[in-house]
């Protein structure tokens, strides 16, 4: 009641959570392309030793085996053909089965790297995005535990994109963008298979060109850095060991950045639709652990 004998109107209700404020504190910000990339570099810098080690643990031994098989066991070999004691030409002494074996080994290595490494790296990147420490052992335990789920999503996305590429190319590129944050959805929200793909599709929908811009610019950065390091290894020509070292370094350097950008794109797309806070994200990661 006020001094005139009337009733004082009640204060207005507090604003609902969202638009930057949620139950767990300030909401995660919406970021432009430049902000996503600069934030990715900051997270990379703050967690460089852990993220690089996560990649190196897998990349170093597996790429060594691949390089050794290709550079030593199945190095180019020829036999000289002679007629009446005179050399008339050379033919390969390697068989088609040997080349096919090298191809199969490379496929197996790629599957292992892309599944386990993506899971472990993106788990670490998601933790790093909210300022939590990146634990190498915990990231790999999580990665191996979700190996099958990541592999399934990778296969399903790959098949969808392949079908789209067969259909005049453009649909395949669209599908690749629309499904680009399916694995981060698995890592953060523990969504599996087609659920993760549907989540990615719904998040990217309405922000397609924003996602395209992030993917293209990040891809150019990783390609340039990887290309420069790989080119240094190419200087050594037939020395498979030195070439392997630089190829491994290129993957170790670029893989964490690509994973961080993927996670940040996913979080940015969620921030544009939901009132997601750091505490809420941390709770989701704990539930997905």
Residues 6+ apart with CB under 8 A from 211: 177, 180, 181, 204, 265, 269
Q: How far is it, in rounded angstroms, from Cα 1 to Cα 245?
A: 80
Residues 6+ apart with CB under 8 A from 166: 172
pLDDT (mean) for 193-211:
95
Q: Does residue 82 belong to any structural domain of this protein?
A: no
Q: How far is it, in rounded angstroms, from Cα 142 to Cα 116?
A: 9
Residue 82, pLDDT above cutoff 80: no
Residue 181, pLDDT above cutoff 60: yes
**Sorting pLDDT into bands at 50, 70 and 90, what band is 95?**
low
Q: Does residue 19 belong to any structural domain of this protein?
A: no
pLDDT (mean) for 109-131:
83
Q: Does residue 195 belong to any structural domain of this protein?
A: yes
184: containing domain: 30-53+110-288
pLDDT (mean) for 278-283:
86
pLDDT (mean) for 259-271:
95
pLDDT-above-70 percentage for the chain = 77
More confident residue, 121 or 20: 121
Q: Does residue 115 belong to any structural domain of this protein?
A: yes
Interior/surface letters 78-109, b for 16+ CB within 10 angstroms, e for the rest: eeeeeeeeeeeeeeeeeeeeeeeeeeebeeeb
State residue 98's pLDDT score: 61
State residue 104's pLDDT score: 74
Q: Does residue 92 belong to any structural domain of this protein?
A: no
Structure tokens at 199: 């989540």
**Sorting pLDDT into bands at 50, 70 and 90, what band is 97?**
low
Q: Does residue 280 belong to any structural domain of this protein?
A: yes
Q: Does residue 67 belong to any structural domain of this protein?
A: no
Residue 259, pLDDT above cutoff 90: yes
Residues 6+ apart with CB under 8 A from 168: none
Phi/psi for 16 (5° steps) reads -70, 155
- What is the domain count for the chain? 1
pLDDT digits (tens, 9 = 90+) for 13-48: 444 444 444 445 567 889 999 999 999 999 999 999
State residue 43's pLDDT score: 94
More confident residue, 165 or 114: 165
Q: Does residue 39 belong to any structural domain of this protein?
A: yes
Poorest-pLDDT segment among 3-7, 65-69, 172-176: 3-7
pLDDT digits (tens, 9 = 90+) for 58-81: 888 877 877 776 655 555 555 554
Structure tokens at 183: 């694995």
**Sorting pLDDT into bands at 50, 70 and 90, what band is 106?**
low
**Average pLDDT score over the chain:** 81
């Amino acid at each position: 009641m006020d001094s005139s004998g009337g009733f004082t109107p009640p204060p207005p209700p507090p604003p609902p959570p969202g638009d930057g404020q949620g139950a767990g504190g300030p909401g995660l910000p919406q970021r432009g392309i430049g902000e996503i990339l600069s934030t990715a570099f900051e997270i990379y810098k703050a967690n460089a030793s852990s993220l690089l080690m996560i990649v190196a643990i897998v990349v170093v031994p597996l790429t060594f085996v691949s390089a050794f098989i290709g550079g030593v066991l199945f190095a180019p070999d020829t036999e000289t053909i002679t007629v009446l004691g005179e050399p008339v030409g050379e033919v390969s002494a390697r068989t088609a089965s040997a080349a096919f074996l090298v191809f199969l080994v490379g496929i197996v290595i790629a599957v292992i790297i892309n599944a386990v490494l993506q899971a472990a790296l993106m788990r670490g990147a998601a933790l790093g995005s909210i300022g939590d420490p990146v634990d190498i052992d915990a990231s790999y335990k999580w990665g191996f535990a979700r190996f099958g789920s990541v592999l399934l999503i990778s296969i399903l996305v790959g098949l969808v994109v392949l079908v789209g590429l067969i259909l005049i190319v453009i649909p395949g590129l669209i599908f690749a963008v629309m499904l680009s944050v399916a694995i981060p959805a698995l890592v953060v929200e523990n969504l599996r298979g087609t659920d993760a793909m549907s989540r990615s599709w719904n998040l990217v929908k309405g922000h397609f060109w924003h996602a395209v811009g992030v993917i293209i610019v990040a891809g150019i950065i990783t390609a340039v850095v990887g290309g420069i390091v790989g080119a240094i290894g190419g200087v050594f020509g037939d020395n498979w060991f030195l070439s392997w070292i630089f190829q491994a370094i290129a993957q170790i350097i670029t893989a964490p950045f690509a994973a961080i950008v993927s996670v940040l794109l996913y979080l940015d797309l969620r921030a544009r639709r939901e009132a997601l806070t750091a505490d809420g994200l941390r709770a989701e990661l704990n539930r997905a652990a």
